[in-house]
Structure 1
């Protein structure tokens, strides 16, 4: 049976749609299947969260011609201040001191999601099937046979490669019988936009508290995205607080580094879990983004890690085809895992350990945390190494991250 598509991507969020944009110039026939209308509030890639984009992500977006469309909506991060509530240690990162133009950028997820979707829609060889839902798939010698529910009918399509980019509770992962390692952090992130008395001067703040991190991400002169982590059992209490009471609660945790919080916008909440797929790929199938690794947002690495995976997978697919491999050759996916494993493992382990480390009040561990932050701040080589890691530029990285085309 001939392939209807070379690649079928389940999930048209920012990770899945970015993969379509990365692969489309090669001429591959691509379908992207999404169950939720992209303008619907239930589509998390198109909400009002602030996303921190690492320099590695900026380079990838440049290579797939999206950065120019979203550049007007981003705010650069020039400095980052990290501290722990009630402790003496802190780390201060400065772009100029580190030899970079910026440490990252902040963009509203809706703006970036719409730009990625616009770019994806410009390719004639990318077919968006939406709203539609994967019901079943079957591997055959001639390809992956997918059953899709679309417009009230069940359609069958044949693909060379199935990509599951359908989020933390991936249907593709479940249908493939892939198990996961999971941990409930028993925390919830509450996200809102705030206006402060003083300008943020392109500075991002992160403060670790006994309840979880509180972060401020700059989006305008006096406006920031507030990311407030609370114990899951208390989430509804904070969500339903009057604005003035909520502002008081934030200032009690964060202080008034930017003066008084003058206004707070709509609050949205997201429960936090660690999810790691035991297998990243099978014959004719690969998982991507949150479907393979859902991590704690304490270092804002989730989307950035997922986009580096997009860059790595696109590189290995295109390189494999240029070498004469077929799209369903499992060697392509083996090459992809070799390219991406170290970066994935480092980020997953670092964020998970950080989450557990800062929520442990044992005196010895608390002292060690503060000494570690002071050492990072005082030792230039250590600080630069830490900065490059956080920017997604350290170690073996895909060509897009190195500013090279495929």
Structure 2
């Protein structure tokens, strides 16, 4: 469907980021017309300033394949075969291995800009997606029969009606605010610094996560001798850490990470973001639903954010594909109920790791050690961790189950 062509659709997706774009593609594959309102104008290349690297769970890879995106991503994706988790100052470690799960990979690591470019290529080939960009939501009034919106584009403000409005517009969601849905915030007083480093030896599909008093640090395998470095620091120290020259920064990261992964040699550009959790008080409202970071923004520990958001999108698309009124209250309530177990589980897991496993609480050291050893040595517990880590929790969308072991 051509851009800004004025075609009537019943579903409006506000937000053209990773989750919003994925939802539009999932609806397109189901033959459902939708409008995607994107704040960013068209561009011919992916932003080169994006330094994040995403750990895509196995279920996420299946989902991206189902909506036609994975072939564009795969050439630059690194298979994740093992995860090694340890805690500075505590005894023991946890190793999660693909072989123990009966699969060839737990997931894949891919630069965020690569996934963004892949989604753009896939969207260019859609038949059922009307794209409005640049465009932003000005007003939203939801009634029993429809949702009335005003959308501001580069040249005008247009009034439109939709059966369903989807808020996929991130942590500071305009849709969520317009609906009057409250959000519970938690400031971890941490800042996330991301970028790439070069390693003395290739990681060969092994990711390392080191928990410590200052927060987690992770090394994610990329192609060749490169790796994605995800480093959390106390917010009070973030400016000083960002100001370090490359050599000093690599030395600091090495001290935080330890030596299990070998020597870090040099660092590329890095970016910093504050780490805050935000949990919407409700996933749905009259004629509206929230997905991705608009519904929940989680601590980046465990790399759960996009994986959880994609399962939001694919579940919603699956439920809308049954036909009928997309904004029906009973359907939206059923969506919220179906997402509850997965959402609540990820929220509990990430918050517990960020607070109990990372914060300086010496009295908990024996319990943390016992937890790591139990997860390593008790097969049912390790299998549970593997399944959840691969993205199979609660009642996942069918699109991610094709390779379920």
TM-score, normalized by length of structure 1? 0.94
Change (3 A) 1:38 1:191: farther
In 1, distance between residues paired with 2:379 and 2:185? 36
The residue aligned with 2:395 is: 396
The residue aligned with 2:196 is: 193
Shift of 1:42: 11
Q: Tell me whether 1:32 sits opposite 2:39 in the alignment.
A: no
Instruction: Find the residue that maps to 2:211 and give its secondary structure.
Output: strand
Instruction: Find the residue that maps to 1:299 and give its secondary structure.
Output: coil
Shift of 1:119: 1.0
- Aligned with residue 116 of structure 2, among 105, 113, 116: 113
Instruction: Find the residue that maps to 1:216 and give its secondary structure.
Output: strand
In 2, distance between residues paired with 1:394 and 1:42? 32
Superposed CA deviations along residues 254-299 of structure 1, whole A, max 9, x for unmatched, are: 1233332221000101110110000111111001100010000111
Q: Map residues 177-188 of structure 1 onto 2, 5 A cutoff.
A: 177-188=180-191
The residue aligned with 1:15 is: 19
In 1, distance between residues paired with 2:335 and 2:192? 32
Q: Tell me whether 1:285 sits opposite 2:288 in the alignment.
A: yes
CA RMSD in angstroms, aligned pairs only: 2.0
Q: Map residues 144-155 of structure 1 onto 2, 5 A cutoff.
A: 144-155=147-158
In 2, distance between residues paired with 1:221 and 1:52? 17
Q: Map residues 1-150 of structure 1 onto 2, 5 A cutoff.
A: 4-37=8-41, 39=43, 47-150=50-153
Shift of 1:43: 7.8
Question: Please, which runs of 5 or more residues in structure 2 have no aligned partner?
Answer: 1-6
- Aligned with residue 269 of structure 1, among 261, 267, 272: 272
Q: Is the 8 A contact 2:199 2:264 kept in 1?
A: yes
In 1, distance between residues paired with 2:307 and 2:144? 35
The residue aligned with 1:358 is: 357
Q: Tell me whether 1:327 sits opposite 2:331 in the alignment.
A: no
Q: Is the 8 A contact 2:51 2:269 kept in 1?
A: no
Shift of 1:222: 1.3
- Aligned with residue 170 of structure 1, among 151, 173, 184: 173
Change (3 A) 1:38 1:55: farther
In 2, distance between residues paired with 1:354 and 1:391? 17
TM-score, normalized by length of structure 2? 0.94
Shift of 1:363: 3.2
The residue aligned with 1:385 is: 384
Question: Please, which runs of 5 or more residues in structure 1 have no aligned partner?
Answer: none
Q: Is the 8 A contact 1:316 1:333 kept in 2?
A: no
Q: Which moved more, 1:84-93 or 1:361-370?
A: 361-370
Q: Which moved more, 1:59-68 or 1:285-294?
A: 59-68
In 1, distance between residues paired with 2:401 and 2:263? 41
Instruction: Find the residue that maps to 1:16 and give its secondary structure.
Output: helix
Q: Is the 8 A contact 1:143 1:284 kept in 2?
A: yes
Shift of 1:4: 2.7
Superposed CA deviations along residues 13-47 of structure 1, whole A, max 9, x for unmatched, are: 01000000001133322111111236599989x82
The residue aligned with 1:367 is: 366
The residue aligned with 1:308 is: 311
Change (3 A) 1:176 1:29: same
In 2, distance between residues paired with 1:210 and 1:217? 21
In 2, distance between residues paired with 1:85 and 1:277? 33
Instruction: Find the residue that maps to 1:297 and give its secondary structure.
Output: coil
Q: Map residues 209-224 of structure 1 onto 2, 5 A cutoff.
A: 209-224=212-227
Aligned length: 398
Change (3 A) 1:42 1:120: closer
Q: Which moved more, 1:9-18 or 1:378-387?
A: 378-387
Shift of 1:379: 1.7
Superposed CA deviations along residues 217-275 of structure 1, whole A, max 9, x for unmatched, are: 00123110000100011111111111111111111111233332221000101110110
In 2, distance between residues paired with 1:227 and 1:15? 21
